[in-house]
Structure 1
């Protein structure tokens, strides 16, 4: 096996730079933009909801298509870099119209902007994730690479969360100012981030191109016929589902159950501050115990934290702060390990089939997370409403108890399910080392050297 030195810390920080504009655009897209477009630009909530739903459906189609296309791309610059560069241009230009609409906002203009925004975002994100899994074939180095991306992403999300708070201090309720600050962060970082990422590392040698173009049925079988991939996808779906149930309800929980509306945004920010420190902690645990065991441990910690929320009362705000701190330190542990495992599964598939489908596998991994984000809102909000909670009216003690139960038990159950799915995962460090040995140059399954 190649003894090429692992990437330095500086190289990995540069390589992860593209996560800054991507995260800075992604958070407002789901949290702030719909409300601002409704309040400040006059679009109805129904219209915005339909447009964003159609945008997500387009995104769901584009993800696997981009994964398969980047797997088959051959150029002097590699197969991932051209897509990231082109996608970055489309992403940046569409961000101008998304955050700084020059002629107002109409349903048609918003739909067109989101079409190109999601196209550019996918062309950046999916090839970048696949490239991340190819930087090294070493079992633990892949976790290290994913950790740097997690820390950079968390830092970008923290900064993005701070900007609307600053806007509210300057001009309360001014949605256009919030858009200006958040969009400014995206536009200021996209060009330097692209440069840093594209020049940080060299792509590995290109694998052989399959003799025939894969058909749709063959591509679907490559996904559904890999049981280890399906376990990883289901486990990550459960992790993301848990996280987004909590995110969808945290403002309601803090405002109505705790009676502390002044902390509704601050508590979310508090969690992200400690989330920045989570990656290096879980990296060390992963090196010692392996990725799937660490993922299970992280999910069980999350189960304990969320069950402990059942002990929180409106008078025990310090307990909620402590649990939020713990939530931040445990944040993303499962996602981090599972993302690194995808590359290991792609190695196994390449050895078994002779086909390199790393980009395809990361695209369906991304799609699973996006689907879970949508499903979480579709479960959490109707459920608390059915239990009697109404954010516009006076809530009975029973309705507030229902809110607490969904806020605590929903994520706890999903995290427990994630842990059960990934427990006793057979592709551990020893099994992966044997796969990499058989993928040495000259072997039938060889795709690329480290």
Structure 2
């Protein structure tokens, strides 16, 4: 049985106070790596494909195939990286070496991705994306696992996730502003947009790595490594954890709803509302208020607990998306109001569910003696990525089946079908997310008991020399 390691703070059973909370400054430093990661992720699916098609002559079919293979590669990497970081032993820690090495690989490949030469081949894009996703995963999965280890406290884990959410939302807001500025300088210049966003990644990646890696010390790893298990047994252990499956299902539904909305918002605003000039601005408007969402839901989480707050956030999302059914093409005011509310509710479910994963990993470690936090977070990440792909695979064919075609004039029935999918698709997905996580048994009281048992077991174990 693996030795249980303590968290570097006071007992998790004690209530959090101003004296023993993690400092806001250190949590902000720790979250810094989210800036370049978010700045690179947004243009990857929105701005980069058109630039490579229009400015570098690659066909949309070729680009689409390369990105599809790249996303599959990215998804396959997640569980392997989770297991590798769980099993790593070094004097620098388990997570830090992967984040440092992955960050450098991410930085180098992002440079070639955002600042390509004049002549670009399909092989160039495929190779750069191969290393880009490898570096991204090597940063993301160990960082998520480390986030759950920074504190063993129930509510402090929510604070850690909240700071990451706020930093990510701020980075996305800044990234969305850059192409807006580019349109003012040189309208329609996709290369300039890509260069500005790539410049943000290049300028922030190294300082962000330093800030994140020096924010906290990693807690000591288990003194011994559990024997290497067959892949099938590990998969069965993960899939056999019913609490984890509920969290994964709930997050899949959250992300599905968010990405159905994201996939259709430009079409909805441009064609149904008839306001193409608002297509990008509405997304930016949502993110302005999205920066405020994290602290709001953190306060609610203190009162209700994580799973109840996740349910509340998802039901708010259901109400907002059902409200979109009432939006007529001439009622921009109502749409703006619902978009503001969407921003304030943004990411509430994701935030709480991410913090819950660490609690579920604690329960698994108590029951089995195996520390699989990295693996658990990798599967959590994989669920979100799968939902992103499924959302596009559902939303676009569905609106096309209902008669919508952005290349031609559309009938009122086709536009109404687009509006209904835009409203009801996310509403159904968020309702499913709330249902899956409702009544979740691992609350603050139960988690405190688990942490006490883990701490007691730690006290009886002698670390290996």
Shorter-chain TM-score: which interval? over 0.9
The reply on whether 1:273 has 2:288 as its aligned counterpart is yes
- In structure 2, the CA distance between the partners of 1:444 and 1:424, relative to structure 1 (3 Å rule), is farther
Alignment match, 1:232: 247
- In structure 2, the CA distance between the partners of 1:447 and 1:46, relative to structure 1 (3 Å rule), is farther
The reply on whether 1:248 has 2:255 as its aligned counterpart is no
Q: Which residue among 403, 423, 442 is the counterpart of 1:388?
A: 403
The reply on whether 1:36 has 2:36 as its aligned counterpart is no
Partner of 2:141: helix, strand, or coil?
helix
Deviation at 1:11, TM superposition (A): 0.1
Alignment match, 1:100: 115
Q: Quick check: 1:354–1:444 contact (8 Å CA) kept in 2?
A: no
Partner of 2:93: helix, strand, or coil?
coil
Deviation at 1:105, TM superposition (A): 1.7
Q: Which residue among 237, 244, 248 is the counterpart of 1:222?
A: 237
Q: Quick check: 2:39–2:201 contact (8 Å CA) kept in 1?
A: yes
The reply on whether 1:294 has 2:301 as its aligned counterpart is no
Alignment match, 1:17: 32
Runs of 4+ in 1 over 6 A off after TM superposition: 444-448
Alignment match, 2:436: 421
Deviation at 1:337, TM superposition (A): 0.2
The reply on whether 1:84 has 2:84 as its aligned counterpart is no
Q: Which residue among 90, 93, 102 is the counterpart of 1:75?
A: 90
Q: Which runs of 5+ in 2 are unaligned?
A: 1-5, 12-19
Aligned length: 448
CA distance in structure 1 between the partners assigned to 2:85 and 2:366 by the alignment: 20
Q: Residues 335-354 of structure 1, C-alpha deviation per residue, up to 9 Å, x if partnerless?
A: 00000000000000000100
- In structure 2, the CA distance between the partners of 1:445 and 1:177, relative to structure 1 (3 Å rule), is farther
Q: Quick check: 2:100–2:209 contact (8 Å CA) kept in 1?
A: yes
Deviation at 1:168, TM superposition (A): 1.1
The reply on whether 1:48 has 2:63 as its aligned counterpart is yes
Deviation at 1:209, TM superposition (A): 3.1
Of 5-14 and 325-334, the range deviating more from structure 2: 5-14
Deviation at 1:323, TM superposition (A): 0.1
CA distance in structure 2 between the partners assigned to 1:289 and 1:342 by the alignment: 17
Q: Quick check: 2:56–2:118 contact (8 Å CA) kept in 1?
A: no
TM-score (norm 2): 0.94
Alignment match, 1:332: 347
Partner of 1:259: helix, strand, or coil?
coil
Alignment match, 2:393: 378
Q: Quick check: 1:295–1:419 contact (8 Å CA) kept in 2?
A: yes
Alignment match, 1:311: 326
TM-score (norm 1): 0.98
What is the RMSD computed on CA atoms of the aligned residues?
A: 1.4
Q: Which runs of 5+ in 1 are unaligned?
A: none
Alignment match, 1:206: 221
